[in-house]
Amino acid sequence: MGGNSQLDTGTCWPGTTCKGVSLPDNEISSDCNHLLWNYKLNLTTDPKFESVAREVCKSTIAEIKECADEPVGKGFLVSCLVDHRGNITEYQCHQYITKMTAIIFSDYRLICGFMDDCKADINLLKCGSIRPGEKDAHSQGEVVACLEKGLVKEAEETDPRIQVSDQCKKAILRVAELSSDDFHLDRHLYFACRDDRERFCENTQAGEGRVYKCLFNHKFEESMSEKCRDALTTRQKLIAQDYKVSYSLAKSCKSDLKKYRCNVENLPRSREARLSYLLMCLESAVHRGRQVSSECQGEMLDYRRMLMEDFSLSPEIILSCRGEIEHHCSGLHRKGRTLHCLMKVVRGEKGNVGLNCQQALQTLIQETDPGADYRIDRALNEACESVIQTACKHIRSGDPMILSCLMEHLYTEKMVEDCEHRLLELQYFISRDWKLDTVLYRKCQGDASRLCHTHGWNETSELMPPGAVFSCLYRHAYRTEEQGRRLSRECRAEVQRILHQRAMDVKLDPALQDKCMIDLGKWCSEKTETGQLGSLDDTLKCLFLQELECLQDHLDDLVSDCRDIVGNLTELESEDIQIEALLMRACEPIIQTFCHEVADNQIDSGDLMECLIQNKHQKEMNEKCAIGVTHFQLVQMKDFRFSYKFKMACKEDVLKLCPNIKKKVDVVICLSTTVRNDTLQDAKEHRVSLKCRKQLRVEELEMTEDIRLEPELYEACKSDIKNYCQNVPYGNAQIIECLKEIKKQLSTRCHQKVFKLQETEMMDPELDYTLMRVCKQMIKRFCPEADSKNMLQCLKQNKNSEVMDPKCKQMITKRQITQNTDYRLNPVLRKACKADIPKFCQNILNRAKDDTELEGQVISCLKLKYADQRLSPDCEDQIRVIIQESALDYRLDPQLQMHCSDEISSLCAEEAAAQEQTGQVEECLKVNLLKIKTEMCKKEVLNMLKESKADIFVDPVLHTACALDIKHHCAAIPPGRGRQMSCLMEALEDKRVRLQPECKKRLNDRIEMWSYAAKVAPAEGFSDLAMQVMTSPSKNYILSVITVGICVLFLIGLMCGRITKRVTRELKDR
């Protein structure tokens, strides 16, 4: 019976259905209405009626103890049977109670106790009159609806102006519960949604709440009427307050609720009846691996989706986030958009959000648990549908690993912008409670309980809040066996997965964002222009990467707490660089080609990054990977702990030998100095351990690749790099090579640092990155067994081999030019001539300054002494090699190049331009000696001539011309000290000997040059004079003349002595 029924009182008896003609409400007189009202009221309270009920439902009442104990004549029996009608199996009883239900719900006043409990509230809320005649007694659904709205409104206000009494609250929810199976019984909703039911749920059979669920599913359809949508929302809000208002949920989960004690009697009903409490309790059971019926889990999924779709169903959200919704998210209430808008605000992308609102959102995410099934989040599901179909189609729908799959494809071509935003918004909250990642919780709950002292899924602890549990897990994940208990293999793998995901975005690391919020704003607030990157996705990706990289770049400037967090994260990355998911994605080609073996290791221990660094300049390397690897190298320089392998190999040595030193470069210098000193002093036992020395070598070699990895050098040369090497890319030591080539133009400080660098490289050529890179194959060919410190010496010895690579040969020549600028850059020469240099060149050393080149002055000084044949054997051997090499290439003689640059340009330009230098320029200068006007240049050329008399090997043109003659006539004469040159001169004077025409011509040219040299460059001292005589072509003649002269002088002296003696004797006789 409803508002449009007419009752024939003559044929209506207790327990029967009234039949009649339906008439409009306004055609029924008020007297008839009143009569009908009293009749229905009597039906529910008359003992006769109850006796009929007891007769029809006899066996049912016996089964339902609650109903058997109800008092007689109060109407409680009917209400009890209506409440348990879902469990009634007797056909007649079921039919009887169904009919009575229709009667009862046509008027709220017929429901047992309702009028008594809500009389005052109806008047207070102005929900209508309870006096018959003032309002249609058969259309009281509006009154119930008014009370329901008052109830839900109260829950949504911080300080409600009107409060519904507790008794009436219970009565309202009781009415809603009793009408939960058949939507016809909710009179207001029935009339509001009649048309919508026909439109959307025409084929849905009434009963067991099926029509409600159908209408809920279509609530946000465009064609849904607002009146019905409002009524449905009110019904959903009542379900949120009392899960029993949902017939299907209460029925499906009844046994599970009892099994897992989710409806304990001693808990306050207002708590245990809440939908959120039910969901949390049952979700906890599921996450603990307990069995929850599939029907119940299906219902839970529906209602978790319902809460995510409509924020207004959660009073805490309305209470705590009202301001944020009005300011940022108004008009977006459908399909979960408001919640995602609030999430976006919380992430800091649209302003600020209050702590209460953030907490309310976090609680809602835990209640709905979308991490367990992405479909619960409708906004995410719709935004990511295309991505899931393409990138994650291999994963079963609803599987929690779908979210991980989406995270793995973040910033890839398969990802779409809307999905990216929705995903990061949800992951922000999941990352703040480890339990919300279903797979992580399942694999790690045992470890978390054992190591981090956690409690159940829906329990929290002040000592170990949800956000701190993951930090605890990853600290144990990277412990060594010596350091104590570690995670299980399954849990460790999940921790690594989460770390990989968090590396995508700073905001996914709660501790990092919390501690570093101020520093992010202070140091990392600059944004990249979208146009510079080509797309919004690229820009967002760049910004996400930049935030962490920015914090790492400003590590020393960060506040203490932030510095510790960033430091710990960077230290963790150094052990397992695969945490850097974006870097790994960029480096995938190089990893597959060169590093696949170490990448497949379950435990990384820094091997993968070391491999990437070693292969950074392979042709397969792409720009993004190279930039990422270089940035990580630069970050490592800030603290030696950021290099995992170095830290593990040398931590004990650092504590013992380099305490209180933090920066990696300083630690490397400290340990390297210790190793060098121990080596030079021939210490019996090295103070630095062997494993540390090996890793130290690796670090030293890596630092040579990029000037930025040597902070002191980089800082000293920053302005010079900007001025002279601005377009030269970093890496491959290209900047360092650029600075070396323009060394004379550098600022004093930079010049000094570059000189020191070159000195170190010459002592240990393996640290010369460019030389090692360019000559890599030649080293394998010619110097496979050579010690690293003798590498350059070995290459120099094989420089003129026919199979020597031209590029390597050119690089060797560059290093020779560098060595000849200063004896300190030639360790072999320095050692061989350590006694000769202070003995013969002290005046040059007195004028020298530290860290600045001597421009070949010491070597020139030693060359002159070589010509005078006054050097020690070891030093002589080294100088001979230098003279021989510089005779072939004028660039190896810095003094000649410096003083004769103009003459070379004007007189010998063609020879200087030759691709291969074989002494053409030197020969040209000798031939044009008379044309040289500059005294310093003339002196250098004369010195060359002087040197050539000391050894034919230092005159390549003459040696080439006379090679056959030397072999025929001077084969038995050992080279050096001018012996072979004297042999050739004697052969030239000997008429019986026939020299090769070219040799004879060159010898005559040399004699003329030496004669001219003797005229224009007189001897500077007796030793110089003696050397000129001994090396003169007329040596025999000159020596004969000198001998005759000495004899004449002796005879004269003898004669003068006798005369003097005779005179003296005569004087005595007097």
Backbone dihedral angles phi then psi of residue 851, each to the nearest 5 degrees: 70, 15
**Residue that is written with structure tokens 């003659």 in the block:** 965
What sign does the CA torsion over 611, 612, 614, 618 have?
positive
User: How far apart (Å, rounded) are the C-alpha atoms in residues 426 and 958?
Assistant: 84
Q: What is the pLDDT of residue 1022?
A: 46
Which residue spans within 4-82 are E strands per DSSP? none
10 Å Cβ neighbour count for 496? Answer: 18
| Average pLDDT score over residue span 982-1002 | 88
| Average pLDDT score over residue span 380-397 | 93
Reduced to 3 states (helix: H, G, I; strand: E, B; else coil), residue 132 is: strand
Q: How far is CA 880 from CA 86, 411, 422, 932, 978, in A?
A: 112, 64, 76, 26, 12
DSSP string for residues in 801-839: -TTS-HHHHHHHHHHHHHHHH-GGG-HHHHHHTTTHHHH
Q: In terms of Cα–Cα distance, which of 853, 768, 781 is closest to 811?
A: 768
What sign does the CA torsion over 22, 26, 31, 33 have?
positive
Residue 693 pLDDT > 90, yes or no? yes
Q: Which burial class, exposed, middle or buried, applies to 112 when counting CB atoms under 10 A from its CB (0-12, 13-18, 19+)?
A: buried
Residues paired with 132 in a beta bridge: 135
Q: What is the pLDDT of residue 25?
A: 44
User: How far apart (Å, rounded) are the C-alpha atoms in residues 434 and 436?
Assistant: 5
pLDDT digits (tens, 9 = 90+) for 81-109: 776 777 788 888 888 877 777 666 555 55
Query: CA gyration radius for the chain?
Result: 50
Q: How far is CA 723 from CA 341, 704, 712, in A?
A: 49, 22, 18
| Average pLDDT score over residue span 1017-1040 | 55
Of 93-107, 750-764, 1022-1036, give the range with the top mean pLDDT: 750-764
User: Is-above-0.85 flag for pTM?
Assistant: no
Better pLDDT: 95 or 875: 875
Residue 3 pLDDT > 70, yes or no? no
pLDDT digits (tens, 9 = 90+) for 558-615: 999 899 888 888 888 888 887 777 788 888 888 888 988 887 765 667 888 889 988 8
Q: Give CA 60 to chain center in angstroms.
A: 68
Q: Give CA 53 to chain center in angstroms.
A: 74
Q: In terms of Cα–Cα distance, which of 890, 942, 894, 941 is closest to 918?
A: 890
Q: Give CA 680 to chain center in angstroms.
A: 42
pLDDT digits (tens, 9 = 90+) for 132-186: 444 443 456 777 888 888 888 888 887 888 888 888 888 888 888 878 888 888 8
| Average pLDDT score over residue span 726-734 | 90
Tokens standing for residue 496: 């690594």
Are the CB atoms for 875 and 862 separated by under 8 Å?
A: yes
Q: Which burial class, exposed, middle or buried, applies to 452 when counting CB atoms under 10 A from its CB (0-12, 13-18, 19+)?
A: buried
Q: What is the pLDDT of residue 4?
A: 37
Q: What is the pLDDT of residue 231?
A: 92
Q: Which helix (H) or strand (E) holds 106?
A: none
Of the chain, the percentage scoring pLDDT greater than 70 comes to 83
Reduced to 3 states (helix: H, G, I; strand: E, B; else coil), residue 135 is: strand
Tokens standing for residue 654: 């650092």
| Average pLDDT score over residue span 987-998 | 88
Ramachandran region, residue 398 (left: φ > 0; alpha: ψ -120 to 50; beta: rest):
left
Residue 739 pLDDT > 90, yes or no? yes
pLDDT digits (tens, 9 = 90+) for 534-558: 343 444 344 445 677 888 888 888 9
User: How far apart (Å, rounded) are the C-alpha atoms in residues 799 and 801?
Assistant: 6
Q: In terms of Cα–Cα distance, which of 763, 760, 711, 769 is closest to 736?
A: 769
Better pLDDT: 569 or 17: 569
pLDDT digits (tens, 9 = 90+) for 816-854: 999 998 888 999 999 999 999 999 999 888 887 766 677
